[in-house]
Amino acid sequence: MRESDSRFFYFDTLKNVRVQEKCKGSKGKCQRIKVTVQGELLITIMSSLAQEESRSISENTTWGKRKQFAEGKTSVGYSAFLGYDKDFKINEEQAKIVRLIYKLFLGGRSFYAITKELEKRGIKSPSGKDKWYISTVRSILTNEKYRGDALIQKEYTADFLDKTRRKNTGEIPQYYVEEHHEAIIPPDLFDFVQTEIKARENGSKHSGVSIFANKIKCGCCGGWYGAKVWHSTDKYRRRIYRCNKKYAHKGKPCGTRHLTEEEIKRIFVKALNSLVEVKEKVIVELQSLIDDVCQTVELTEERDKVEQELGGLTERLETLIRENARVAQDQNAYLKQENEIRARYVEKQGNLEKLDEQIAERESKRNTLETIIQVICGINEEQAEFDEDLWSGLLDYIVVKKDGQIVVVFKGGIESGVGG
């Protein structure tokens, strides 16, 4: 080998053989070895062996971990998991923060508003920082581990050499273990939060600034009430709520009145106590509503039928393709059959997606109604004071009518009239 063609190889360990072009004046302390053709071959073999050894170790380790996952065994793999120590032991101090985040969300706060409230209170993030991020709050509100379950293998190692991690979208099996460990958030409450998150993401009017914002509807124009500040620069400053579109139409302002926060609280407490007085009747009505509109048996049967039809169409298409590959056929006739099968498949796939949406919608409504029943069952006496959790858990919205009458609409469609 000529000097101009020579290369130098730096040995760190058997698993790491690096090649570098000849570099004069290098300050590195690695041992330089001038390599012959035979030496290059030897190093290539050694590199291959080292890579194979690394792959084998990685596969054996991965196999062991996946065997544990299949048996429902997992642990907290990082220190920044708020609320739990290793082996899913509840850290009570951190658990208080988790419960606070859920309470703030159910109190009407948005993800952003929650981050600001946590920073205002001087609460450190899971990573020990002063700043909280929306993604962190969302992760805490949607992580099934807080309800006591564990979804295992959300991510996987895609490359055993550079340890690249990727989100698991079906490449490897996932395991969902129920009642895996002690829950910080009751499962019913966790499920209710998931329903609320979905409702907000699907376009429900929500500002997250106040628990009262966008919970009060104008009976005149249908617009939502928002907070306004009166006398903002003097001692008579106060916040009131009125229709956001009150003066949207010149010369014809909405005739509905404004409300103070104290008035809103009194209205809700009065309506809630009226509900509690007849709670046995209300529970029966809600249960009847569940039985009438939340059943999914027929939809599930129809879904299974469509799935079978999709399976049959897939088999027909595969048979058609194999037959065309085995025996020469009229390609025009072949393409016509293939397109017909594919068109029917797309149609059935669309039907399946619609059925899935209908089933999910009914199951979501069932969860909401069952949660409301549990909350009502837990109220055993007249409420003397406003309760933010009951407001968030039971109220759908309040309607202020032009004549001053007020209607409180609870989740599930139950209405309670309150005098103006």
* 419 or 186, higher pLDDT: 186
Same domain, yes or no, for 270 and 393? yes
Predicted pLDDT of residue 96:
94
Q: Is residue 131 part of a domain?
A: yes
Q: Is pLDDT above 50 for 391? A: yes
Tens-place pLDDT, residues 195-237: 888 877 775 555 555 778 778 999 988 888 888 887 666 666 7
Same domain, yes or no, for 254 and 273? yes
- Closest CA relative to residue 122, chosen from 131, 110, 134: 131
Q: Is residue 209 part of a domain?
A: no
Predicted pLDDT of residue 168:
58
CA 288 to chain centre: 30
Same domain, yes or no, for 157 and 230? no
* 342 or 162, higher pLDDT: 342
Same domain, yes or no, for 105 and 229? no
Q: Is residue 79 part of a domain?
A: no
Q: Can you tell me the mean pLDDT for 68-95?
A: 70
Partners of 10 in the β-ladder: 18
Tens-place pLDDT, residues 154-176: 565 555 455 566 665 655 666 67
Same domain, yes or no, for 265 and 398? yes
Distance CA 255, CA 111 (A): 34
| Percent of the chain's residues with pLDDT above 70 | 72
Mean pLDDT of the chain, nearest integer: 77
Q: Is pLDDT above 80 for 58? A: no
Same domain, yes or no, for 21 and 123? no
User: Counting beta carbons within 10 angstroms of the beta carbon of residue 84, is it exposed (0 to 12), middle (13 to 18) or buried (19 or more)?
Assistant: buried
- Three-class DSSP category at 266: helix
Same domain, yes or no, for 240 and 94? no
Same domain, yes or no, for 390 and 260? yes
Same domain, yes or no, for 159 and 284? no
- Closest CA relative to residue 224, chosen from 233, 212, 215, 237: 215
Q: Can you tell me the mean pLDDT for 277-295?
A: 88
Q: Using pLDDT thresholds of 50, 70 and 90, give the confidence band for residue 28.
A: very low
Q: Is residue 211 part of a domain?
A: no
Q: Is pLDDT above 90 for 254? A: no
- For residue 97, the domain's CATH number is 3.90.1750.20
Distance CA 342, CA 320 (A): 12
Tokens 């958030």 correspond to: 185
Predicted pLDDT of residue 409:
92
* 19 or 196, higher pLDDT: 196
Number of folded domains that form the chain: 4
Q: Is pLDDT above 50 for 420? A: yes
Tens-place pLDDT, residues 83-101: 998 778 899 999 999 999 9
Q: Is residue 397 part of a domain?
A: yes
Q: Is residue 132 part of a domain?
A: yes
| Percent of the chain's residues with pLDDT above 90 | 22
- What domain range includes position 35? 3-70
Same domain, yes or no, for 51 and 118? no
Same domain, yes or no, for 252 and 383? yes
Same domain, yes or no, for 273 and 390? yes
Among 201, 226, 245, the domain-final residue is 201
Q: Is-contact 154 174, C-beta < 8 A?
A: yes
Among 201, 224, 247, the domain-final residue is 201
Length in residues, the chain: 420
Q: Is residue 329 part of a domain?
A: yes
- DSSP string over 277-295: HTHHHHHHHHHHHHHHH--
* 8 or 270, higher pLDDT: 270
**pTM for the full model?**
0.53
Among 306, 323, 356, the domain-final residue is 356
Predicted pLDDT of residue 106:
78
Q: Which of 7-16, 48-57, 262-271, 275-284 has the highest mean pLDDT?
A: 262-271
